[in-house]
């Protein structure tokens, strides 16, 4: 898949343009140019929101629990995830996570993880040890209960 098609796929899946640029190596202008023509309704590209950080995910036991589940899906699908983020596996794992989340979420359920948060988790998994990240997630889950 070429970089422009990958960028469009990631934007359609809900990833922020900043992370799409990081993941694909395309400039923000290159990322957003096709979006303004084809995907206007997906996301307001002029909205600049800050990127999530691991600490924000760990502050919530629900997000930490969802993050652990998403990472299990991701590592079961990814190839060489210790070396680089397998973006296809990430999107597939995220879509599977969302289907399950939406199928079981109640009326007052908190919002699911975003694709940006999922990317942050997979980046952290790649850059630290798997055990370390899972321990952080488990500690967060236990503190929230």
Global model pTM greater than 0.85: no
Residue 10 lies in a domain: yes
Residue 61 shares a structural domain with residue 97: yes
pLDDT at position 40 over 90: no
Any alpha helices (H) in 42-114, and if so which ranges? 54-58, 61-77, 87-104
pLDDT band at 121 (very low <50, low <70, confident <90, very high): very high
**Residue 130 DSSP one-character state:** H
Residue 114 lies in a domain: yes
pLDDT at position 119 over 80: yes
Residue 44 lies in a domain: no
Residue 88 lies in a domain: yes
Q: What mean pLDDT is reported for the chain?
A: 84
Residue 74 shares a structural domain with residue 30: no
Token couple for 4: 């422009």
Residue 58 shares a structural domain with residue 33: no
45 burial level (CB within 10 Å; 0-12, 13-18, 19+) = middle
Residue 76 shares a structural domain with residue 122: yes
Residue 45 lies in a domain: no
What pLDDT was estimated at residue 49?
63
Residue 95 shares a structural domain with residue 63: yes
pLDDT at position 108 over 70: yes
pLDDT at position 98 over 90: yes
Residue 89 lies in a domain: yes
What pLDDT was estimated at residue 1?
66
Residue 61 shares a structural domain with residue 92: yes
Residue 34 shares a structural domain with residue 72: no
CA 16 – CA 4 distance, rounded (Å): 15
Structural domain that includes position 20 = 3-38
Residue 47 lies in a domain: no
Q: Convert the pLDDT of each residue in 77-86 to its tens digit.
A: 999 888 889 9
Residue 61 shares a structural domain with residue 126: yes
Q: Answer for the pair 89, 81: CB distance below 8 angstroms, yes or no.
A: yes
- Residues 6 or more apart whose Cβ sits within 8 Å of residue 40: none
The least confident of 12-21, 23-32, 53-62 is: 23-32
pLDDT at position 73 over 90: yes
- Residues 6 or more apart whose Cβ sits within 8 Å of residue 120: 51, 52, 53, 54, 57
pLDDT at position 123 over 50: yes
What pLDDT was estimated at residue 44?
44
CA 90 – CA 6 distance, rounded (Å): 12
Residue 49 lies in a domain: no
Mean pLDDT for the stretch of residues 121-144: 87
Mean pLDDT for the stretch of residues 7-22: 90
Residue 19 shares a structural domain with residue 78: no
């Amino acid at each position: 898949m070429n970089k422009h098609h990958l960028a469009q796929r990631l934007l359609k899946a809900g990833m922020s343009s900043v992370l799409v640029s990081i993941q694909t190596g395309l400039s923000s202008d290159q990322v957003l140019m096709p979006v303004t023509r084809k995907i206007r309704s997906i996301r307001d590209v002029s909205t600049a929101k800050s990127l999530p950080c691991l600490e924000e995910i760990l502050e919530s036991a629900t997000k930490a629990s969802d993050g652990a589940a998403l990472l299990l899906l991701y590592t079961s699908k990814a190839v060489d995830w210790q070396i680089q983020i397998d973006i296809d596996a990430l999107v597939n794992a995220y879509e599977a996570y969302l289907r399950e989340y939406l199928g079981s979420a109640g009326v007052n359920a908190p919002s699911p993880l975003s694709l940006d948060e999922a990317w942050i988790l997979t980046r952290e998994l790649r850059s630290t040890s798997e055990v370390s990240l899972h321990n952080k997630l488990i500690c967060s889950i236990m503190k929230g209960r």
